[in-house]
Structure 1
Amino acid sequence: MSKKEIELAELSLLMEALCEERLSAKESARLEEIVLSDPDAMQFYLNYSHLHGTLYWDQALGADAMIPVAAAVEEEIAEVEAVEEDGEITVIESIKRPTAPRRKHWVAGITSVCLLVTFMVVINSWLKKDDVPNLVDNSPNENAMPAGNNGTSENLAAVPSTKHSRSIHVEPSQHPMLRSHQGDSPQSLSDLPLIAAKPKQLAPVEQLPTGASDDAVITFINHRIQDGWAAANISPSPFASDEEWVRRVYLDVIGRIPTATEAEQFLKSTRPDKHQRLVKQLTENPTYVTNWSTIWTRLLIGRSMSREINRRALQDFLVQSFAENRPWSDIVYDLVSAEGDADTNGATNFLLAHLNNEAVPATAITTRLFLGTQIQCTQCHNHPFNDATQSQFWEINSFFKQTKVVRKKNMGEKGEAKEPKLALVSLSKGGTTFYETRQGLMQPAYPKFAGVKISDAPGVNRRQELARLMTSGKTNQLARAMVNRMWAHFFGYGFTRPVDDMGYHNSPTHPELLDQLSRQFVDSGYDIKQLIQWICLSDAYRLSSRFLEDNVADNPEDGSTPNFSRMYVKQMTAEQLYDSLQVTAKPTQIVTNYSTAWNKMQKRDQWLQQFVYTLENEENDETTTFDGTITQALLMMNGSLVKRSLDFKQDGTILTQALKERTPDARIRKLSLAALTRYPTSRELTELKRLVKERTKFLTARNVPLQSAVQQSYQDVYWAYLNSNEFILIH
């Protein structure tokens, strides 16, 4: 049986126990875990509940009126009750004389039959399979019922509920949800559990030593991911080609595709450690700094240019931090505790952008970005699926109550008035924060984080205390959130979905791997570059994006759990597309250091505004229309960036260089390498040469000069490359 079939078996039995009101607290927690982990399981839960309620309601309202009333016949019925004492289950049998007419048992029987038939239909639709797994060989004898000490079956799955008797008796050996795995040794019926067996548990994971070597950490990643494949019964795709991998790692680490020269240098290298060397080189590349400062500027304050903040000052702070490879804990501490002028201290701009609406946005985004927990919904009510409460939201919110945004007058050199300067000031005042419950009651909230209560006296700087608590302590939640986010950056999916909603209600796909990577990240001194190297040099990151028959089920797009048996295809971000189109136009214009990059980055930010829409809500959210819209398609077909790449009149452009090649083969190979980081296949090369020839002939027949016709023909080839899915996707 597959993992999903086993989980369905467990879910079906838990739902049966729920509907019969015999679900224990432990089973209730397991039911919640399954339902919240899979959209299909959630739909199954809703369908089952609706079906049970409908049948039960129909039976209660109209069944008796449709069945002739017969004389009551008294008979002795054995009632079985299971009692658990000191961890052992004792079956007690008693005799009870029912007073209800026989017709009620008949009604219950008909209802149970209908429920069972419809239930099997739901099972088939959930699994999307037409067949039911076969019984294993040497299955238990269906007629043999092992008896307990008092002659009663010890199999709890067959024990009738004490709330109402059941007319249909189903042998556990025949229950489709309790069939054994192929190849498993047969079990006696008394060994079968109430809840279907879980997937085979893997051996406990030994912790890596403190400060383990890079090779040890990478090996640990590989083993944990392989264990996930084994548990899911899937096989990984083969390794990606060097062409695929080098394009992928350039986009993920420095935010653009490699130039033809950079790609060719890697592809021609025969060094066995060329992958390790390239990742190391990329983390030392000046574009690494601009890329990651851009990523975190976008996460911290969004893409919108409308807020009264100094965007450049914030990015300057991030650029310096990433250039010096400062510990992530230090960067977060500065962002949370920052004070002073927005122009002087760039870190202040993070909170300056979110201190509106009683600091509700600041509270929500701080925990979401740095701790991987979403608490914004608890500002009004307790969380429905975890322990987060409304009081906890306002306890964290109270850390920001001393903070005030000050607008200072700003005069120009000639005395003219300019936009006011913003500053972040911490007031030396104490006191209690109050919030309103849904019942209209006012409740106090004191500054408290992770179980640690801070004094609300005037002399205590609450934000500094919050920053200290977030970046220290035994929970390592800061590290876990960063590791999860970085994994999602490189693979498209993190260990949890969404990546910033971690907790027991949202179990990670690879808990041991997340725990150990987080520990090693802390031991490394929160070294971001080292974390990137661990991920990029893992076997999972080197896999191809191609589906295989053995891992076609590993497709998180349909809601399934990611097992990372292949590289999931991602679309370029707007920033990656912009910078990559600069590479396809004129590689000499690539930014080599941040000091000369700001003007070009401003142009990019202005270009991005056509896709950005700010949402007027309490979380200061924004959305984009970049992903797969008509605007994006028109931009790629006719936009100025693509036109710049197709310019063959300007010296130094890729197209100009390609046209200088002597043969059609060399020209097409040059264009393919520049746009797609690979050489064309033999079939592709043959077809493109034929198309170029026909296009040239077509244009010259319309009195276009031969040289211009040839140039336009190769221009069309390059346009087709740039507008292909292969160009815009990270695969």
Structure 2
Amino acid sequence: MRVLSIGILALLVVPASFAQDTKTEATLSGSALIDYWIKTKWTDAQLKPAPKTNDAEFMRRAYLDIVGQIPSLEEAEKFLADKSANKREKLVEALVKDERYAEHWADIWSGVIVGFDKEQRAQGMRNEGAHDFRELLEKNVPYDEFARKVITAEGWVPEGYKPMMMKDDKKAEDDKKPVGLASYMVRQFREAGKDFPKAVAGKLTRAFMGVQIQCAQCHDHPFDRWTQEEFYGMASFFTEVRVKRDPKDAEMRGYHVEDAMRGPVGKKLAGAGGPDLSIPDSKTGPIKPSFIDTKQGAESGVSRRATFAKYVTSPENLQFAKMCVNRYWAHFFGTGIVNPVDDFNGKNKPTHPELLAALAKDFIDHKYDLHWLIKAIAGSEAYSLTSRSAAKERDLQAEKLYALGRVRALMPEQIMRSVIEAANLDDSPMMGLGRRDLKGGGKGMKGMKGEGAQMMLMRLTSQFRNTFDDDEGSESVDFAGTIPSALMMMNSQVIAGGTTARPLNGFGEMLAKHPSPDAKVRAIFLSCVSRLPSASEASRWMAHVTKSAGTSGYEDLMWTLLNTSEFLFNH
């Protein structure tokens, strides 16, 4: 009978010093700036912060947040053995340069821009988008440039996910290579039809500015200052965009996304798009493009989309930087300074307004460098605090003010990649794929380049996402545990295959490399929950494995750990 869970040891709360930085707030930057404003709130609320994470806690948290999976056994052993004082800083620096970083954040950004959906075609479009997001993230393209590329994306988008048409496929014609960044345009077109300009304006304003202006589509915003006319002014920036099929190419099924008209030599004719939008049953007449707040309109010589992108990403538009900072903050802390992250409005006040404004300005000063932003957040004292508490009930005030770490459910993609990493999965449950396809020569999911591997991950992730029940295609990437998801983990073919030791599979090889029962138990703990067992856990499991036949005791341990809340949550 397999045990279903293992308790997480409580960590005693000890006094911790949080003296303020002696520098003035105006001279602070990055992690020091964050610490200044966070500690100011602690002092005002007379809060004592939780103890700092131990090295194993911090390592697992950083891997999950930055590269989207737990560390490998070898990576965990290497970090825990490092005795240098700046090992955490070095780890974060290494992780933002790891190929898995781009994979993970491409998952996140494709979800935000394209959306999460159970429908197969939308899943395919999201995967096409993830490929292009990954390229931008690998290059650490500045965030303002990143946003402009998304807003102005054009080209051919296949109807379904076509890994054989990756951009390195030399056989494909240049104009037939997929442009995944434009896939969100296709989805909005398919779902909104003639209201496409309104849908895109709402999507992009929400994603890049955190403003729910779409609520003013039918009437003035019910509890914010946006008017219906302002919404139509924003939507008019997208009346030039055309999404259409190519009737001459039945084989390459998909859509072309482009601005409305081109001249005889292929140049865009700016301003030659569709008519300006009009509010139904209104006497205002056609409404010209007009950017909220600044009232700037279309510019001559460039497309309306390009003008919109210019206004959104302007350094003078602090809201653009605030939204990015808030989104990344929410990813690392489980809640935004403004929460929900994409709903800035007069009634949804930030918990730390000074911090949000100062960090947004600091982000702009650092040229919208996403690596810098991640290192600033992950290097802060608040990020280093444990989520463990000796109290019987969670201290919600401490969590709200970031004096206590927050326990967060993993994204389905994080679970999938972590299961594959922990169990070192071989080909038995993986649709005929060998470990080299999955593991990239032992480098984890970052080596996963082949067409078959991409399709496998797409199918398995879709299965996990559907089971973890993200309905309505929301942008949220926060998933809570449910009975169906727990049953899936317990009965999944992937889990069953990964927790069965055979001579030539990954789990079997791991056991063979560690000859003693004690070493095997320690290796399994490090592989699954990125820490060594406590004395009581080691004693209990040593007793179990020594009395079990063959490798069944070790299989029980692996299966049990993969089904604990400790594995399924970031803490």
SS at match of 1:353: helix
One of 189, 203, 206 as aligned partner of 1:368 = 206
Which residue in 2 is equivalent to 1:69? none
Asked if residue 314 in structure 1 is aligned to residue 154 in structure 2, the reply is no
Label 1:232 to 1:371 Cα distance change in 2 as closer, same or farther (>3 A): same
Work out which of the residue numbers 596, 621, 628 in structure 1 matches 2:449.
Answer: 596
- Rounded to whole Å, the distance in 1 between the matches of 2:367 and 2:488 is 43
> Does the 8 Å CA contact 1:367/1:374 hold for their aligned counterparts?
yes
1:497/1:601 Cα in 2 relative to 1: closer, same or farther (>3 Å)?
A: same
Structure 1 position 219 matched with structure 2 position 32: yes
**Structure 1 counterpart of 2:276, from 432, 435, 459:** 432
Structure 1 window deviating more from structure 2 (518-527 vs 316-325): it is 316-325
Q: Which residue of 1 aligns with 2:568?
A: 728
Unaligned ranges ≥5, structure 2: 1-19, 158-176, 262-271, 426-434
Match of 1:530 in 2: 372
Structure with the higher strand share, 1 or 2: 1
Give a deviation string over 1:41-97, Cα, whole Å, max 9, x none: xxxxxxxxxxxxxxxxxxxxxxxxxxxxxxxxxxxxxxxxxxxxxxxxxxxxxxxxx
Contact 2:545 2:552 in 1 (8 A): no
User: Could you tell me how far apart the structure 1 residues matched to 2:449 and 2:544 are?
Assistant: 42
1:555-607 deviation per Cα after TM superposition (whole angstroms, max 9, x unaligned) = 58xxxx81001110001110000000111121774355567265423322212
What do the CA deviations read for 1:104-157 (whole angstroms, capped 9, x no partner)?
Answer: xxxxxxxxxxxxxxxxxxxxxxxxxxxxxxxxxxxxxxxxxxxxxxxxxxxxxx
The partner residue of 1:474 within 280, 295, 316 is 316
Name the residue aligned to 1:682: 535
Instruction: Give the alignment partner of residue 77 of structure 2, picking from 236, 244, 264.
Output: 264
TM-score (structure 1 length as normaliser): 0.64
| Matched-pair contact (CA < 8 Å) for 2:153–2:181 | yes
For the 8 Å contact 1:669–1:680, the answer to whether it is kept is yes
Amino acid at match of 2:496: K
Deviation of 1:430 after TM superposition, in Å, equals 6.3
The answer (yes or no) to whether the contact 2:419–2:495 under 8 Å persists in 1 is: yes
Using a 3 Å threshold, how does the CA distance of structure 1 residues 647 and 604 change in structure 2: closer, same or farther?
same
Matched, 1:422 2:256: yes
For residue 64 of structure 2, what is the amino acid of its counterpart? L
Q: In the alignment, which residue of structure 2 is the partner of 1:125?
A: none
In the TM superposition, what is the alpha-carbon distance from 1:640 to its structure 2 partner? 1.7
5 Å matches for 1:418-567? Answer: 418-427=252-261, 428-429=272-273, 431-436=275-280, 444-455=286-297, 461-547=303-389, 552-554=394-396, 562-567=400-405
- Equivalent residue number for residue 658 of structure 1: 511
Inter-CA distance 430–206: structure 2 relative to 1 (3 Å threshold): farther
- Verify the 8 A CA contact 1:669 1:679 in the aligned structure 2: yes
Q: Does residue 459 of structure 2 align to residue 641 of structure 1? A: no
Q: Does 1:607 align with 2:460?
A: yes
Deviations 1:499-526 (A, max 9, x none): 1111332221111111111111111111
Amino acid at match of 2:288: Y
**Higher-Rg member (1/2):** 1
**What is the aligned partner in structure 2 of residue 379 from structure 1?**
217
Aligned equivalents of 1:363 and 1:295: distance in 2?
A: 20
Contact conserved, 2:239 with 2:276, CA < 8 A, in 1? no
Q: CA deviation at 1:240?
A: 0.7
The code of the aligned residue for 2:42 comes to W
Distance 1:348 1:548, change over 3 A: same
Is the CA contact (8 Å cut-off) linking 1:405 and 1:423 kept in structure 2? yes
Q: Aligned pair 1:714/2:527, yes or no? A: no
- Give the partner amino acid of 2:77: E
Count of residues in Structure 1 that have an aligned counterpart in Structure 2: 499
Tell me by how many angstroms 1:275 deviates: 0.6
What is the SS of the residue equivalent to 1:452?
coil
**C-alpha distance in structure 2 between counterparts of 1:534 and 1:308, whole Å:** 33
Distance 1:309 1:404 in 2: 21
How big is the shift at 1:303? 3.5
**Contact kept? 1:293, 1:322, Cα under 8 Å:** yes
Q: CA deviation at 1:647?
A: 2.5
| C-alpha distance 626-482 of structure 1, shift in aligned 2 (>3 A) | closer
Q: Deviations over 1:244-291 (max 9, x none)?
A: 110010000000000111011111111011111110111111111111
SS of 1:424's partner is: strand
Q: Which amino acid aligns with 2:563?
A: N
- CA change 1:465–1:309 in 2 (3 A) is farther
Cα distance in 2 for residues equivalent to 1:287 and 1:530: 17
Of structures 1 and 2, the one scoring higher in RCO (CA 8 A, sep 6+) is 2
Q: Which amino acid is 1:544 matched to? A: T
Partner SS for 2:551: helix
Give the Cα–Cα distance (whole angstroms) in 1 for the partners of residues 46 and 287 of structure 2: 49
Q: Residue 604 and residue 293 in structure 1: after superposition, are their counterparts in 2 closer, same or farther (change >3 A)?
A: same
Residue in 2 that maps onto 1:338 = 153
Output the CA distance in 2 between the equivalents of 1:227 and 1:597. 50
Partner of 1:329: 144
Identity of aligned residues (%): 29
Aligned pair partner of 2:233 in 395, 398, 402:
395
Structure 1 residues 672 and 522: alpha-carbon distance in aligned structure 2, compared to 1, 3 A threshold: same
Question: Structure 1 residues 606 and 555 mapped into 2: Cα distance closer, same or farther (>3 Å)?
Answer: farther
- How far residue 634 of structure 1 moved from its aligned partner, in angstroms, is 1.9
Q: State the distance in 2 between where 1:253 and 1:623 align.
A: 17
Report the alpha carbon displacement of residue 292 of structure 1 after superposing the two structures with TM: 1.1
- Distance in structure 1 (CA, Å) of the matches to 2:325 and 2:302: 32
The 2-side partners of 1:337 and 1:395 are apart by: 18
Given the alignment of the two structures, is residue 576 of structure 1 paired with residue 410 of structure 2, yes or no?
no
- Deviating more after overlay: 531-540 vs 353-362: 353-362
Root-mean-square deviation (CA), in Å? 3.0
Contact 2:25 2:36 in 1 (8 A): no
Tell me which amino acid in the other structure corresponds to 2:142.
P
Q: Deviations over 1:220-259 (max 9, x none)?
A: 2112111111222221100011111100100000000001
Could you tell me how far apart the structure 1 residues matched to 2:368 and 2:59 are?
26
Change over 3 Å in CA distance of 1:638–1:546 after alignment to 2: same
Letter in 1 for 2:26: L
User: Against the structure 1 CA distance between its residues 723 and 555, is the aligned structure 2 distance closer, same or farther, given a 3 Å change threshold?
Assistant: farther
SS in 1 for 2:279: strand
Query: Is the contact made by 1:410 and 1:420 (CA closer than 8 Å) also made in structure 2?
Result: no
Q: Retained in 1: the 8 A contact 2:321–2:363?
A: yes
Residue 237 of structure 1 is matched in structure 2 by: 50
Q: Structure 1 regions of 5+ residues with no counterpart? A: 1-201, 697-708
Between the aligned partners of 2:392 and 2:352, the Cα distance in structure 1 is 20
CA contact (8 A) 1:410 1:417 kept: no
